[in-house]
A and B are shown apart, each in its own frame.
Chain A
């Protein structure tokens, strides 16, 4: 196997492991192709079982012949290994470094992982576009499925099947695709059954400096408007940035050519700005020496909560246009693969009760992130400890999950899933045994044959035994639109992710358990009472006979 040459030292004895909340433990360190394992060989348990792909960065230092490797994980955990012997330490360090930065996707763990569970439902087929469309087609005939992209030729970052207005034929779509960034012509993202209004998303129009226009594009988006109605275009860039984009061939919709549309600019930060924000935030959370004031000021300068507020505000605005103003909207930024998806998916969380259920949320991630072509591979290659500063690395999806957590915190009874579910998704996006988040779009995924060669995360998550840990015991279906508050007083640091390794969650976990017990006991009693009532009714009728 090709990993053998990367593993310079497969095994070292007398290694001491330090990690948060546990006393140091001595044991044997083993390196395998995809894992770093430490076992004290007591009770046959491994003290550490870490996927190489979860390693974000490592530091090494030496005191005499004792080497220390500090491993910083993508889930923000920091662990330390004390390794006797300089050579062993250097070998281990360079092996870890090589194994955690494999350049070929097909060498990654999902291609080797063999599940230890029975697959009840193959997650690769859980959320087929056709099925999703059926949910709409009962309510409206204004939309159709288009297979125009089945070879990924029209738009490389789109899925093979998209939903477009019924009145627009594939030929027109082809033309529109040439007018939109990355070929990302406007497609349906969400249909609001209550009033028939829709959210569409796309890439920026390629107007350029000379104000190029595209009749088909105008026709396409106008086709979504009811007679006499106006729509909104939400541009996730500031006006200034949108104007500058014209110089590079991009641009925004001119009022003159889109008279039925009102454009709103809602600036949401992206790319390295988010990445730097995350780095600063995690740094602040890890530094426990500073005073209260410094903590608040570091939290502030990280700007993470500002980005949360921006994204949520844009999503609320979009939802408001749909539900309150009764207007359809088109959302885009530049590529339409990042901030655009944040807004469209968060707006659905607000508007659509289904997206607050477990399956509905999975479907949302599948539709609005995976199939919509959010480049997970690029964005989530590295996390908060990496110094590479590549422009394409950006915690866009983590920011989205954080926003969902903020809404969940404000509406604790309206979500079928709990915080733990969001945290697990965060982990799997950055490092996973499942193939779901590999690749940057459907085209890449199909070339990698992920469906045949890897297991879907949903196959595992949707097993009843797993689902129970992700289910919010407080859930009570709420069919209303939920309007979160975006005031700074209402937004909080997501401790479950950012302080997870810095403070013990023992007492909070106990509280959660207590909550579950209270509700379980109630259900148990209810079942008992119902049974008895039934029995009594039967006996009494028997009696009467």
Chain B
């Protein structure tokens, strides 16, 4: 609180980015965790909440006649432009925010004050939702070839690895420790994924400290052990996900890559994914393109190309496809590494696992995948996503890229994933939000030291609770796309990778499709379920009545025996088509009945009115509990805004065309 110079500024204008002419007047509040803008408009009092941890940059622009503009760019790609009347207030807000958005201690982060009103038991259960021990069992481990190793107990060998790992049965503690000494940051080869069907596996590590000529017997034996854990195969692939040039340059620093001559039976392969600095700049360039005001098609496509972003996405996908093919089609195990083995390696192993195993394409499975490949194997969330104030050169959109790869796959295999686009967007949001403890710190060890599980809540439990919002209606557990490996064409074509406006322009609602097929189908499915239930009760009732009548008619005469169900339905079909007959009953139908083609139901499904289980994720509000001390909170505008929003929706794009 000591960092907030001014908690409240009045008569601030929030500028509409789509048309700078439009702006709304309101009051700006600074709290310990959020920036909040509340519109003055009395009937809506719409609120915009921004978490400090989401703020990426704050820019004070030149003062104009109307005031002092402040541009806030967020890590979830929202851009907010405020105009503050007084230069001094603006400066105070600016200085406060600069400090608030750069916390120096973990304890300053939102997750330590966030309270979703769950008791201790619920919190603990939340953390138990994703259980990696179970996951390895699901893979079929331990077995004759792989065993759980306690060599890294108390993080004795490698402080960025999990304490429990699977290694080849033949790899002794001596071998592992020996190998770890020959690997960058001691990240020795360990199992990432085991493919039950043919014993092939994906292992991961960091680069070897080979320099120009160094070798390590234990490390060579370690790779041998991995090969032997796949009894059918003569060799393993070693995939270095870096461009060859980068790997070679590393040799000068005593690092490098495996020499095929020293390791028996390996096939070495470079993939050429660029490093975190290139990726950071690439995203930066792409966001600049997204931010352009009314760009031409050429500006946009040229800028997109120039950013190289989709080229990088494709490189990651290519690597994942190569590994998945090696494992599933050739039955060859793969060891993957990059430099430290916590960025590109995590991306590539995850993409390969998604392609290989349908389990990871389910909601729960995806959580497990992130928990396993990213959280447990020491992806440096704190450094990459700038949770604490740190070296800006460490920041890079590594997980963002992985999430985009999943989206690109979803576009190509629309029935293969149990979750929908919204789920991916919310996961991305929370990687930066620091609202939950899952992504804190740089390693498992650090998280344990901070006692994260005792002091914060798990995102997975939160998402799981609201899973109805994250389901893909096209997913069916018995659909062919949900079985086995996803097969991409042998030469993946460039045009398969598209710009993801649902992510990078997601706060510009006008740019998104105005009607969501996903939500429409979910509503249909919801209604279908209710109909199924109703059908059952109706059938029961009918049966009862028929029994009673049957008894009665039997007494009188046996002539008018009612037919069976099928007989009834065919004879009454014509009546079923006269809707007025049932209008009285229609009311019990869900309001979103997709078969009722009136204006209201069409409106319900427009983008602006979609329910969103995470209110903080919609552009206008962040009313998550936890910040209870705010008296300005008014009943949320979200629910009653149906009519206003729809009328707004109609003219939201006006300014765009009138450039003449």
Contact = CB atoms under 8 A, between A and B. Distances in A.
Contacts of A448: none
B545 A488 contact: no
Interface in A441-500: 474, 476-493, 495, 499
Contacts of B294: 487
Contact of B656 (A477, A486, A503, A511): A486
A485 B414 contact: no
Interface in A520-545: 521-523, 525-536, 539-540, 542-543
A313 B594 contact: no
Contacts of B658: 317, 320
A119 B2 CA distance: 82
Contacts of A62: none
Interface in B504-520: 504-505, 508, 510-515, 517, 520
B260 interface: no
B553 to A, nearest CB: 11
Given A511-B414, A535-B542, A529 B296 contact: no
A493 B572 CA distance: 48
A543 B414 CA distance: 51
Contact of A478 (B295, B301, B602, B657): B602
B520 to A, nearest CB: 6
Contacts of B527: 522
A288 B493 CA distance: 6
Interface stretch (B133-141, B475-483, B611-619): B475-483
Contacts of B657: 313, 316-317, 320, 486
Contact of B515 (A414, A479, A488, A518): A414
Given A522-B594, A533-B538, A295 B495 contact: yes
A495 B496 CA distance: 10
Interface stretch (A26-34, A192-200, A404-412): A404-412
A285 interface: yes
B513 A409 contact: yes
Contacts of A504: 489
Contact of A296 (B301, B493, B531, B597): B301
A225 interface: no
A309 to B, nearest CB: 5
Contact of B301 (A294, A305, A499, A503): A305
A483 B653 contact: yes
A529 B650 CA distance: 36
B599 A523 contact: no
A324 B651 contact: yes
Interface string B32-51: 00000000000000000000
A159 to B, nearest CB: 31
B299 interface: yes
B515 A413 contact: yes
A483 B650 contact: yes
A525 B602 CA distance: 22
Contact of B545 (A299, A479, A528, A536): A536
Contacts of B576: 527, 530-531, 534
A530 B580 CA distance: 11
A147 to B, nearest CB: 37
Contacts of B505: 487, 489
Given A313-B657, A485-B653, A300 B501 contact: no
Contact of A265 (B525, B535, B660): B660
A290 B494 contact: yes
A515 interface: yes
Nearest to B573: A531
A532 B305 CA distance: 59
Contacts of B549: 539, 542-543
A227 B64 CA distance: 42
A514 B479 contact: yes
A534 B493 CA distance: 55
Contacts of A481: 650
A484 B496 CA distance: 24
Interface in A332-388: none
Contact of A488 (B297, B481, B493): B297
B474 interface: yes
Contacts of B508: 487, 489
A430 to B, nearest CB: 23
A306 B497 contact: no
A474 B314 contact: no
B605 interface: yes
Contacts of A410: 513-515
Interface in B416-461: 416
B601 A476 contact: yes
B476 A514 contact: yes
B277 interface: no
Contact of B314 (A292, A324, A514, A527): A292
Contacts of A543: 545, 548-549
A409 B517 CA distance: 10
12 contacts: A292-B497, A296-B310, A316-B657, A317-B660, A411-B513, A478-B602, A488-B300, A525-B528, A525-B531, A530-B576, A533-B585, A535-B568
Given A480-B603, A507-B481, A518-B474, 16 more contacts: A288-B493, A309-B297, A317-B660, A413-B517, A474-B520, A476-B605, A480-B602, A483-B651, A485-B512, A487-B294, A489-B511, A511-B474, A525-B532, A528-B531, A528-B569, A543-B549
